[in-house]
Chains A and B, each alone.
Chain A
Amino acid sequence: MELLNILGDASLVAFMPMTVLYAFIGVVLGVTVGAIPGLTGDMAISILLPFVYKVDTTMALGLLIGIYKGSMFGGSISAISFGVPGTPAAAATVEDGYPLAKKGRPMQSMLQALFSSVTGDIFSTLLLVFLTIPMGQLAIKFGPVEFFALYIFSLVVIAVLSRDNQWKGILATVIGLVIAMIGTDPATGASRLTFGISFLRGGFATVPVLVGTFAISELIIQFSNAQEVRRAYKSGVDKVKNVFKIDKNIEDKYTLKHFKETFKSTIIGSAIGTFVGILPGAGSSIACYLSYGIARNVCKDGDEFGTGVLNGIAAPEAGNSATCGASVIPLLAFGIPGSATAALIGAALTMQGINPGPTMFTANQVIIYAFFIIVLYASILNLGVSRLLIPMYAKISKIQIKYLVPVIFALAILGCYTTDNSVSNIWALLIFGVIGVILRKFRVPLGPFILGYLIGPSMEISLKQSLSLSNNDWSVLFSKPIALGFYAATIIFVLLIVFTFNKNKTILDKGANSDEE
């Protein structure tokens, strides 16, 4: 009965006209941003972070979830239309989407991408709804020892999934942990690792770190690319245009028959995407390549993958979208985000005064159920809006980056300043923009860096509490069965990845590399 009351209250807030409107705007914005090569959903969410705390929690969630879901499909639009993935998550879609479009069936390719994307998304969203609460209830029983083991598990998983960059994955995580330590010591309140610089005394606020690392660094790279294009233009080199003529005699329709024929690969993608999404830091790029690779081995037309087959679009699209709901599960249950985007959503929740993690299940029950409802209807909104606007979106992806980059810079700076009217936020934003560029150039993955930065404070507190309880006896970390379970799971996972996925190395490498691009 109590659950029904909570569900009723949650439905009321989730279906408030303004919440639905924000979710709608989020989906449109997400697909638009995803369709434009160079811009990603992460960037859009990080740019909007400073503004979301000024609106109601459910509206903010509607907006951010809408962007997250919309951008996953949006990336496939330019992948199919021009052979240029709008987001790294759509990189595998190019393999078959673009050849099929060149054969004269761009609409069929995009509709396949849309339906598979939404199916994968709904699949993982249902798992989110049914799995989060039991996991959260389990997490309530966790003490500092169990949480520390869970953090170790998460950080090792993040590093291992960086594949040939495992060591750089660990390095990125450690750098994130160090950045999180700068500022005030949680135990004594004294300034720590500031080296006497007063600017560092308060540490780095979350918003400038996230916006700087994700958005500003990407914009600097876009600026640099524009200079290269400008230089080539001046020296008379023409740009290569991926424009093809469409034979209008070819039937370009997508029917229920096509959906049924590709359902198997859609489900394969959904299952893989969901599994990968739950793992901290794995990311949608790995999910899409892994789904593509496995579907190629399983589907009857596997040999034709790469020539423009629908199964080759269905699997990666379902795979990347299935990470959406799944990556939020560890965020809500344990406070550990499953992806960089989930980390940004977690930061938005924190800015709203809600701590993601097991305490949400007692302190913010209505919000958590409203979250589930919004996640579900945002998928349907994504389907409806994208189906109607597909013809228009192909044109949107042609918007020139030279107009977007300056406007986004202006937005990022205004947004960061207005979070707490602090000038130091701007300096931190620019510093992290440069740090982001340096990390990208050295091919150090950003996801583990951000996850390390966000997990760091909680990890330190759990270690400190564990040691305080045992008079600095480190063996306490191995004294609880659940903690031992996490350590065992860590070892098993590492062995599984190292030995089982060696055969699929190329696939994982492609995913890891496209994450960094």
Chain B
Amino acid sequence: MKNKINNITNVSNLILAGICILLSAACLWYCKYGTWSQRTGESGKMFPRLVSCIWIGVSVVIIIRELLHMQKEEPVALTQMKVWHPLFVVGSCALYFLVELYVGIVVGLFVFLTAFISIMDEDPRKNFKKNLLIAIIATGVLWVVFSQVLPIVTFQTLLF
């Protein structure tokens, strides 16, 4: 079991270092051939080049340490986060923002809070009324604070 966890840690570190090498190589390529590099002098390119080279160097060291099993990192199992979790959260936040921007802050907040609390609830059917009440109260408080007390939210929206 421990070996399995060690392997997961090793593989994740190798993936991380591999991605970093690709990105740093892209940065170096951009410093050499990008449109910006044509406009700037040698002194302007020094810092980005230096940082990119260190980036590559550190990534290579991580790979070598992993391959030689020199990494003393405490092995941990990657937690159960599914790929859809961050995608879902980011997507729903973007949707919430667009609703707020074009439909209205109260509508956006209420829909977002109701849906999100239900999704996070262990038993949304059982706690439906309680969750709804909390969503209404939270919407009211946020609306009063951001639209009335501190009038800093100035969306031009269809509804309210």
Contacts and interface: CB of A to CB of B under 8 A. Distances in A.
B132 interface: no
B94 interface: yes
Contacts of B153: 414, 417-418
B12 interface: yes
Contacts of B43: 187, 464, 467-468, 472
A229 B94 contact: no
Interface string A406-445: 1101110110011001010011001001100100011110
A410 B143 CA distance: 11
Nearest to B38: A190
B36 A433 contact: no
A16 B102 CA distance: 40
A460 B85 contact: no
A223 B97 contact: no
Interface stretch (A22-30, A35-43, A169-177, A378-386): A169-177
A459 B48 CA distance: 11
A54 B20 contact: no
B46 interface: yes
B142 A164 contact: no
Interface in A101-148: none
A509 interface: yes
Interface in B127-160: 134, 138, 142, 146, 150, 152-154
Interface string A213-247: 00010011101101111100110000000000000
B47 A460 contact: yes
Interface residues of A, number: 70
Contact of A413 (B59, B93, B113): B93
Contact of A223 (B59, B85, B105): B85
> Considering residues A226, A234, A406, A409, which has the most beta carbons from chain B within 10 angstroms of its beta carbon?
A406
Interface in B35-94: 35-36, 39-44, 46-48, 50-52, 54-55, 58-59, 61-62, 65, 71-74, 76, 78-82, 85-86, 88-90, 93-94
A230 B121 contact: yes
> Considering residues A54, A192, A464, which has the most beta carbons from chain B within 10 angstroms of its beta carbon?
A192
Contacts of A413: 93, 96-97, 100
Interface in A57-110: none
Interface size classification for chain B: 35 or more
B113 A407 contact: yes
Contacts, number: 187
A261 interface: no
A414 B146 contact: yes
A223 B81 CA distance: 9
Interface string A299-325: 000000000000000000000000000
> Considering residues B24, B44, B89, which has the most beta carbons from chain A within 10 angstroms of its beta carbon?
B89
Nearest to B80: A228
Nearest to B123: A233
B122 A185 contact: no
A190 B47 contact: no
A117 to B, nearest CB: 28
A233 B44 contact: no
A359 B30 CA distance: 35
> Considering residues B73, B88, B142, which has the most beta carbons from chain A within 10 angstroms of its beta carbon?
B73
A365 interface: no
Contacts of B107: none
A459 B46 CA distance: 12
B21 to A, nearest CB: 11
Nearest to A159: B58
Nearest to A409: B93
B137 to A, nearest CB: 10
Nearest to A472: B43
Given A430-B90, A437-B86, A411 B142 contact: yes
Contact of A220 (B85, B96, B154): B85
Contact of B113 (A177, A230, A406, A443): A406
Contacts of B25: none
Nearest to A403: B134
- 6 residue pairs, one from A and one from B, having the closest CB atoms: A406-B116, A402-B120, A233-B122, A224-B85, A226-B120, A224-B81
Given A224-B81, A414-B146, 18 more contacts: A165-B73, A167-B62, A168-B62, A178-B51, A181-B48, A187-B43, A188-B40, A191-B36, A220-B85, A221-B81, A407-B113, A409-B93, A410-B142, A414-B100, A414-B105, A434-B86, A444-B16, A464-B43
25 contacts: A51-B152, A54-B152, A167-B62, A168-B62, A170-B54, A171-B16, A192-B40, A195-B34, A220-B86, A220-B90, A224-B80, A224-B82, A224-B85, A406-B113, A406-B120, A410-B109, A413-B100, A414-B142, A418-B153, A427-B94, A433-B86, A433-B89, A434-B90, A441-B81, A468-B43
